[in-house]
């Protein structure tokens, strides 16, 4: 489906969790003087204007990144993420929100590479414009990232962070996420895989974390941020999660210290909270 446009949701609470964790993963990879690849199966448009009609329709960023923007008590772990967003807002006013590829680019070194998949024609065009000067390091493919991922694994660097972040607008996405991740782990067991997923009342959404756990990864981490209680009508995303295969060993401690602050800042009612589970070999 090509109806989903992330511009309507840019900078919301789910983006905050996803991108905070993504920045931490890439910063950890940069600790070693060895090149890595960043692979994004659903790259989106790359960067979003928060004053656009799409972004202001629901203004979800106001309950997300905006709540972190001018805080003077940011936890240390959140500062690199917020500073990365500031790179796209050099005049100090929050008018643009970088998507996953743009944020990953803030961590990319000369020897590192990005491989981006996107199907929506307009978003592919925006991606190509965003990375027009980085053709040597960034490759953009107008293709299904689920299908395209297997052709990139294992990468020549043998070091990679793979973000699997579909819109989950159709039930098929839930099945394909688990199948693609299982195949990726077989092809490249040493890769770090980050799967973002929504917290929804629908059965397939509730079952997804269990199905990811059933894949049997030796090292994994699952962090969930709920910002409110589920809607009585069963509709609406009340939180989101990140399931990571082969997470950095330092990540659990970082999340333990940081997630309570995020709950305080992003929570909308007394059922806001977080869960963190992990097993790291």
**Pick from 233, 248, 175, 178: nearest CA to 200:** 233
Instruction: Indicate the SS3 state at residue 242.
Output: strand
Backbone torsions φ then ψ of 207, nearest 5 degrees? -85, -20
Please give the Cα distance from 2 to 170 (Å, whole number).
11
Q: What secondary structure does DSSP assign to 65-129, as a single string? A: THHHHT-S---GGGHHHHHHHHTT-TTSS--EEE-HHHHHHTT--TT-EEEEEE--HHHHHHHHH
Task: Identify whether 165 is a catalytic site residue.
Answer: yes
Token couple for 39? 């692979």
120 sits in the region (left: phi over 0; alpha: psi -120 to 50; else beta) called beta
β partners of residue 221: 244, 278
Instruction: Indicate the SS3 state at residue 160.
Output: strand
Residue 2 CB contacts under 8 Å (≥ 6 apart), including other chains: 119, 120, 121
Looking at residue 173, the DSSP 8-state letter turns out to be H
Please give the Cα distance from 8 to 159 (Å, whole number).
33
Which of 40, 123, 165, 173 does the annotation list as catalytic? 165
Q: Which residues are catalytic?
A: 165
């Amino acid at each position: 489906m090509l109806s989903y446009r992330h511009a309507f949701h840019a900078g919301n609470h789910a983006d905050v969790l996803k991108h905070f964790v993504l920045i931490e993963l890439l910063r950890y990879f940069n600790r070693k003087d060895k090149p890595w690849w960043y692979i994004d199966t659903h790259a989106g448009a790359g960067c979003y204007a928060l004053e656009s009609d799409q972004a202001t329709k629901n203004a979800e960023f106001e309950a997300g990144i905006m709540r972190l923007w001018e805080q003077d008590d940011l936890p240390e772990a959140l500062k690199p993420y917020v500073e990365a967003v500031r790179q796209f807002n050099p005049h100090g006013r929050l008018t643009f929100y970088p998507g996953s590829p743009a944020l990953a680019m803030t961590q990319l070194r000369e020897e590192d590479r990005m491989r981006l998949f996107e199907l929506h024609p307009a978003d592919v065009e925006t991606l190509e414009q965003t990375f027009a000067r980085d053709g040597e390091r960034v490759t953009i493919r107008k293709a299904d990232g689920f299908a395209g991922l297997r052709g990139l694994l294992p990468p020549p660097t043998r070091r990679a962070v793979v973000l699997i972040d579909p819109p989950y607008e159709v039930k098929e996405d839930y099945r394909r996420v688990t199948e693609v991740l299982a195949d990726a782990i077989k092809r490249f067991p040493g890769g770090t895989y980050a799967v973002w997923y929504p917290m929804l009342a629908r059965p397939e959404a509730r079952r997804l974390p269990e199905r990811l756990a059933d894949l049997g990864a030796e090292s994994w981490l699952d962090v969930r941020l709920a910002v409110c209680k589920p809607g009585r009508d069963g509709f609406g995303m009340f939180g989101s999660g990140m399931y990571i295969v082969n997470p950095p060993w330092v990540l659990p401690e970082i999340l333990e210290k940081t997630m309570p602050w995020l709950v305080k800042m992003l929570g909308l009612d007394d059922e806001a909270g977080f869960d963190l589970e992990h097993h790291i070999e």
